[in-house]
Amino acid sequence: MATTEDSKMEALLEANEAAVIVPQEKDTVTGTVVFASRREVRLDIAGLTTGVVRGSELFAESDTYTDLKIGDTIDATVIDLENENGEMELSFKYAGEAKAWETARTMFTTGEALSVKILDANKGGLIVKVDHLQGFLPVSQLAPEHYPRVSGGSKTRILEKLKEYVGMKFKVKVLDVLEGDNKLIVSEKAIWEEEQENVIAQFNVGDTVEGKVTAIADFGVFVKFPLEADDEAAYLEGLVHISEIAWQRIDHPRDFVKVNDIVKAQIIGIEGSKIFLSMKKLVTNPWEGVETKYKVGEVVEGTILKVNPFGFFVELDRDIHGLAHISELDSRPVTDINSLGKAGQKMKFMVVSVEPEKHRLGLSLKAMKKGAEKVEVENVEASLSTPAPEDASDASADAQKGVPTADAPEAPLE
């Protein structure tokens, strides 16, 4: 028969068992280090059991799991409730990953900056190491100094440029955390934008700045300013779009400026960290009053700058370029435009339209040819309608009547 003391003991044991939560697989548990070596680490799990971390499960890529000592408290993940030795099998790798995701979520919320190592690159951006997670730094989220400005937008050359960053460390912010999809997006540009806020606030649309050309792309020119800045963080970078470089037509920005050229430009737009510049705003618009210089119907001489499938681009003077559309090159269908003119060739054209507000001036070869044909026809018609001289007509009449003339011998007598 059970005594009163036995009953109390059983009740106490049942209460304790109810209070103990037995870990399950994939649970994160906290243990105290009772043994640590390079091959394995043993943890006491709340006095319930001993857990072991060994092999590849030791190597979580985090400083938290290096140089562990007896008595240290550490988290691990249960991967097997009982191994071949009757011990709980644990992992630092899984626990480290869970902690890393938690840290990433915290940094996303706080906006705290962190340093990441570049592991690899693809055409879309950089693969980075965040604690022991892999993250992605898109090309669009790179700071200006690391953005691959490649002429022509060649994906191969962009990738070559990105590969140069492998092994380097960048300062970034967590932009998005999608643990379910195993995606972690970071941004270097966000850090740069924060650092530039105070500098950007010193400038306004309409200000004139002087800076150095840092890069040239098909679509425009990047200019770093102001020149007198004594700290790298005090510099800004703006874009001069190809349409804002000069008033005349430009095939490629490199034909107008070179890297390291010192240029002046006007700020025409500020959108967050993006600054848009114009070089042509600082020079007089040559299209103002162009209709007084070139008039419709006037014949002008110009140099063909470029032959395109749709016509000739023609330089009339340094600032004014016109277009001779293919429909204005010949009255007949044009099968080979290059047979009508070559780049560098000087030709005469007739001005057929002037649109100063659109910076357009239309030229025509066809009109020139029609004008020449009209003059030729008028000359022929004029020569046919001109009456013969009086003495010539009399001589002609006499000759028809058989009367001898001064220029013709008499007919012989029969």
pLDDT of residue 63 exceeding 70, the answer is: no
Q: Which two tokens stand for residue 50?
A: 């001993």
Mean pLDDT, rounded, for 124-143 = 90
User: According to the model, what pLDDT value does residue 394 have?
Assistant: 47
Q: Which residue has the higher pLDDT, 361 or 157?
A: 361
pLDDT of residue 116 exceeding 80, the answer is: yes
Q: What is the mean pLDDT of the chain?
A: 82
CATH number at residue 305: 2.40.50.140
CB 41, CB 68: distance < 8 Å = yes
User: According to the model, what pLDDT value does residue 197 have?
Assistant: 83
Mean pLDDT, rounded, for 368-397 = 51
Q: Would you place residue 5 in the very low, low, confident or very high pLDDT band (cuts 50, 70, 90)?
A: low
Length reported for the chain = 414
What domain range includes position 267? 202-282
Mean pLDDT, rounded, for 85-99 = 82
**Residue listed under structure tokens 């099998």:** 89
Q: Is residue 233 part of a domain?
A: yes
User: Each residue of 246-257: pLDDT tens digit?
Assistant: 988 888 899 889
**Do 143 and 215 share a structural domain?**
no
Alpha helices in 295-389 (DSSP H): 366-385
Q: Which two tokens stand for residue 58?
A: 């030791």
Q: Is residue 150 part of a domain?
A: yes
User: Each residue of 66-90: pLDDT tens digit?
Assistant: 788 899 998 888 988 888 888 899 9
Q: Which two tokens stand for residue 313?
A: 């681009």
User: According to the model, what pLDDT value does residue 409 have?
Assistant: 41
User: According to the model, what pLDDT value does residue 250 have?
Assistant: 84
Percent of the chain at pLDDT above 70?
81
Q: Which residue has the higher pLDDT, 397 or 10?
A: 10
pLDDT of residue 329 exceeding 70, the answer is: yes
End of a domain among 282, 306, 323?
282
**Do 259 and 248 share a structural domain?**
yes
Q: Which two tokens stand for residue 127?
A: 């693969």
Q: Is residue 379 part of a domain?
A: no
Q: Is the pTM higher than 0.75? A: no
**Weakest mean pLDDT among 100-104, 179-183, 385-389:** 385-389
Spell out where 144-201 has E strands.
Answer: 169-178, 183-187
Q: How many CB atoms lie within 10 A of CB 287?
A: 20
Structural domain total, the chain: 4
User: According to the model, what pLDDT value does residue 231 have?
Assistant: 63
Q: Which residue has the higher pLDDT, 290 or 149?
A: 290
C-alpha span between 65 and 69 (Å, rounded): 10
**Do 187 and 130 share a structural domain?**
yes
Q: Rounded to an integer, what is the distance from CA 115 to the centroid of its chain?
A: 25
Helix (H, G, I), strand (E, B) or coil at 394: helix
